[in-house]
Amino acid sequence: MSATAPRQTADERRVAVLDAATHEFARKGLHGASTDDIARAAGISQPYLFRLFGTKKELYLATSQRTIDDLYQVFAEASRGKTGMDALHAMGTAYESVMADRDRLMLMLKCWASCDDPEICEVVRSAWRDLVDLAERVSGESPEAVSTFFSKGAMLTILMAMESFARPEPWSNRLIEGCQSGMTE
Amino acid sequence: MSATAPRQTADERRVAVLDAATHEFARKGLHGASTDDIARAAGISQPYLFRLFGTKKELYLATSQRTIDDLYQVFAEASRGKTGMDALHAMGTAYESVMADRDRLMLMLKCWASCDDPEICEVVRSAWRDLVDLAERVSGESPEAVSTFFSKGAMLTILMAMESFARPEPWSNRLIEGCQSGMTE
DNA sequence: ACCGGTAGTAAGTGACTAATCACAAGCAAA
DNA sequence: TTTGCTTGTGATTAGTCACTTACTACCGGT
């Protein structure tokens, strides 16, 4: 009676698992999320998840890496053909749009917060290195300007995590506005 | 033969548990840390831990709250009697010294990263509100200046997490120096 | 002496979880 | 048709974890 399930390639399944894992890890973290839930959300059995990724930790690293690689691509595309503060501004806007996806936002924060783990730390460090290099190279701006750019990004990320945009308050609006007025100087 | 263990008041034990919990939660997070390990590190049995704090979640909240309250006190004392950029600078120095304790640093980051949980989010939001209010009130500086102050704090916190001070690299040094030169302007 | 409250624990319990193993089923080429 | 590789799962396992129950030991007051 039931139609035979259509088979997919392992790579297609891997993408589905990474999608599900991004959501689960973003919400509950490496230890809080269960491989059972991720497998179910990806539409496969839990043992097959282990066949595709080896261990939970490796899946976590792959998930983080993909999100970070995506972010780099978005930065690169947003700034293409631009220079100076124009380039930084375009990257800032692109960053905001990526982080509007709460899964990516929270996964990023969870990576920062898991830097005690040397493997995760290495992923995060190399991501920052690449992004800083890109921002400096494309914009050609001074270290001070680039530093300010990343500072504001860091604070805005934390403010987004604590839902300061969805649930505005005077103090957080002042931080955000102070941030934007600095941008246009 | 063995001497009877000296009894302590529940409040003394609570402090010991919070100390142990700060370390464990900072390293492994709410889900990664086990109440067994925390109890052992605090020198009590695991059931007694539950008697003292009810649930693991409540212990986590109490631990985070204590660290945050400490931070506020340090800010307040550092800035006492100061105004303007002097006050902000003193707070910045104080913040760096607090965050030199890796347990407090990583616990703070873990709190930010756990803002999907409404209870944790509320703790974090009210902490930021209090700190921003304090910084504005004591320094009397413009929203832009205060925003810049917190921006730089946010980025430096993340850089500390990824051990950019212990393992310096050119790109991170540029971010840090760009940050400091901005401070003195 | 004893009584009431507080400090403290040994011994579970049931639920959950990462990882494994053995095995089935689809598919493509010879 | 058979052979062999890839996709995919059911059943299980060994262990962990938050939390509970039921109990003991200490100590100050009367």
% of chain B surpassing 90 pLDDT? 92
**Identity of residue B82:** K
pLDDT of B181 above 80: no
Find the mean pLDDT for residues A124-139: 98
Cα–Cα distance, B48 to B50 (Å, whole number):
5
- In this predicted structure, what is the pLDDT of residue A4? 60
- In this predicted structure, what is the pLDDT of residue A180? 84
Q: Do B112 and A172 touch (CB under 8 A)?
A: no
Q: B170 Cβ partners below 8 Å, 6+ apart?
A: none
pLDDT of A1 above 70: no
Q: At what angle do helices B56-79 and B102-113 cross, to 10 degrees?
A: 120
pLDDT of B89 above 70: yes
Length of chain B: 185
Residues of A in contact with B147 (CB under 8 A): 155, 174-179, 182
CA–CA distance from A160 to each of A143, B112, B129, B162 (Å)?
Answer: 25, 10, 14, 21
Cα–Cα distance, B75 to B132 (Å, whole number):
11
Higher per-residue pLDDT: A181 or B96:
B96
CB A46 within 8 A of CB A35: yes
Q: Which two tokens stand for residue A76?
A: 């690169």
Give the helix ranges, DSSP H, for A43-83: 46-53, 56-79
Cα–Cα distance, A149 to A184 (Å, whole number):
12
- In this predicted structure, what is the pLDDT of residue B184? 43
Q: Is the Cβ of A28 closer than 8 Å to some Cβ of chain B?
A: yes
pLDDT of A120 above 80: yes
Nearest to B40 by CA among B10, B12, B67, B16: B16
Q: Do A174 and B143 touch (CB under 8 A)?
A: yes
pTM of the complete model: 0.95
- In this predicted structure, what is the pLDDT of residue B70? 98
Residue A47, CB, strand D, below 7 Å = yes
CB B151 within 8 A of CB A155: yes
A56-83 tens-digit pLDDT: 999 999 999 999 999 999 999 999 999 9
